[in-house]
Amino acid sequence: MRVLLTIQYLGTNYHGWQIQPGKITVQGCLEQAIQKALGEQCETFVSGRTDAGVHAWAQCAHFDTNTRIAPDKIAYILNRFLPADIRVLKSQQVSDDFNARFDVTKKTYQYQFYASDQDLPLLDATFARVRTDFCFKKARHACKYFLGTHDFQSFCSTGRQTKTTVRTIYAITLDDLGESKYRLSVTGNGFLYNMVRIIAGTLIDVGCGLIESKDIPQIIKQCDRTKAGKTAQAKGLTLKQVEYDKVKLVPNTKRI
């Protein structure tokens, strides 16, 4: 059967999602837990790889298994073999033609940061720190320029191949959480390598007066990475939600 997992993890201690020789990764820990829990070597297929230090609130991945354990019980069993900063929130059987990566229709990322002249230990796990002269209103005003379908080559780091750099952003908001804390939320049909972190870095630069809000449309049109802002720190980024148009669930059969 094919099982869909919903996974939450704090990425601080991991070199991203994907298995890498000699490095601790989320996928590596998950597949080791599957082998211990189910007695099988199973390859997991994720909605999208996250980089080193990036977190996930509800990542999605599927794998195929011959286990007789009820699919909704697999999450509980896997968590017994996972480190405390990785948790499977839900496990469910899906149709054999479901693909956690290729069936994605929308993803939402959040980027959190705070303005302070010193590091704040209780925030530093999931928030980045920016300059104290950050202007929330300027940055929020600039968000609107990212909406719609654009060639986002200016907001893509080199290092990964992609057929096209055109993406659609359906929603983007910047919220003031109080006490100089802020949260950027971006929903799109897909994202390029480091795209959300570069958008966040560009908006932070707008808020700090390094880039003018009115220049964002031209930066997008230029398709030149050097024109956009810095790549914001990984620790502020969280994959918040993965959406699928249709997920065909398979009712639990009588299993162990």
d(CA 17, CA 27): 5
CA-to-CA separations, 54 to 16, 111, 166, 177, 232, in angstroms, rounded: 7, 10, 23, 21, 11
**Known catalytic membership, residue 51:** yes
Question: Do the strands 2-9 and 55-64 form a parallel or antiparallel pair, or are they unpaired?
Answer: antiparallel
Taking alpha carbons only, the member of 195, 225, 204, 201 closest to residue 50 is: 195
Q: Tell me the residue ranges of DSSP E strands in 10-131.
A: 45-46, 55-64, 86-94, 104-115, 128-130
CB 206 within 8 A of CB 212: yes
* Catalytic residue selected from 51, 85, 124, 151: 51
Residues forming the active site: 51
